[in-house]
Chain A
Amino acid sequence: MNTELETLLVKAVDGLLTPDEQARLDAYLAEHPEVGEALEDDMAIKAITDGWAQRIQADADIEPPRPSGPARVVLGTGMVLVVGAVTALMGFALWMTLRDPAVPMLVRAAVAAGAAGAAGLLGYVVKVRLRSLGRDPYREVDR
């Protein structure tokens, strides 16, 4: 089988024939129906593998891990504002609760313990975040 025909058959299976190539292939197949049967078999195989690939992709739900530069600025600023506002409000509420003599001592102790725990957790997250800042753990790409 010649190279040009092989190329036509490969492209036909992949659905990439130009109209001119399609016409040439049709003319050949009219004289060689056995090649047409082989082509049908190849197309059937391709349809099955296409189905697999589509099912794998549909299952993926893959998104790039980082948004673009401007979007990162918007997201970062928004996050800082929200965290700052929540921290200020919680701090104020905590301060008022601890200072209020009408609140039972047990409740004040529980609130203080919760606040200390939350502060510890927040501190740990900030520490980890600061450590990883500016580092690229995947510098080596090509090997």
Chain B
Amino acid sequence: MLAAVSDDLHGRLQEALPRAYVAAFRILGDRDEARDACHEAAQRALGAARSYDSGRPFYPWFHRIVKNCCLDRLSAKKTARAREVEVGDEVSDAPGAEALLMGDQKAQALARAIRSLPEELRAVIELRHFQDASYADMAEILAVPEGTVMSRLYRARQRLREALADDPAFSRPEAPAGGAR
């Protein structure tokens, strides 16, 4: 019985770990730290297999464990980021987090725009765009109704669009004079 539960949890972990790694990387801004945090979170999850209610969605439960592991690591480093406990406020300022991935101005402008979002809007972008969380999982993680998730996601994307509208990297190419589209 316990072995069956463990196998089921192991399967779910395997499915969730890549997304969890992205979340950890976005929080910690370091590959090795993110990898270690995910391993630690997986061990905690397996150790707490009895307390997991298989009737509930797995990712929100595991996301919470990953978040705790990341915050522990930040706390151990005595950084100011450790005090930030909400999902959307966890994006690392470490240069490695974005610099590793962005070679062009468009990406840098987008990263700035995401960081400038209010916390509740940044949270939905982090969950949906980077962790590919379902709307139901996002509602569970953020403890809000699914309709609120949709509304926040819409507003977050609207804010990003507006923030990037004046950015040269995102400007639409001008249509040829007198030409049809």
Contacts and interface: CB of A to CB of B under 8 A. Distances in A.
Contact of A59 (B31, B42, B153): B31
Interface residues of B, number: 55
Contacts of A67: 10
B157 A53 contact: no
A41 B151 CA distance: 18
B47 A138 contact: yes
B110 A49 contact: yes
Interface string B1-20: 01100110010011001111
B42 A60 contact: no
B161 interface: yes
Nearest to B21: A60
B150 A6 contact: yes
A141 B45 contact: yes
Contacts of B44: 138, 141
Contacts of B164: 41, 45
Contacts of A106: none
B40 A60 contact: no
A104 interface: no
Interface of A: 3, 6-7, 9-10, 13-14, 37-38, 41-42, 44-46, 48-50, 52-53, 55-57, 59-60, 62-70, 136, 138-139, 141-143
25 contacts: A10-B150, A10-B153, A41-B170, A42-B157, A50-B129, A52-B102, A52-B107, A53-B22, A53-B131, A53-B132, A56-B130, A60-B22, A62-B17, A63-B14, A64-B10, A64-B14, A65-B42, A66-B10, A68-B6, A68-B7, A138-B47, A139-B48, A141-B47, A141-B68, A142-B64
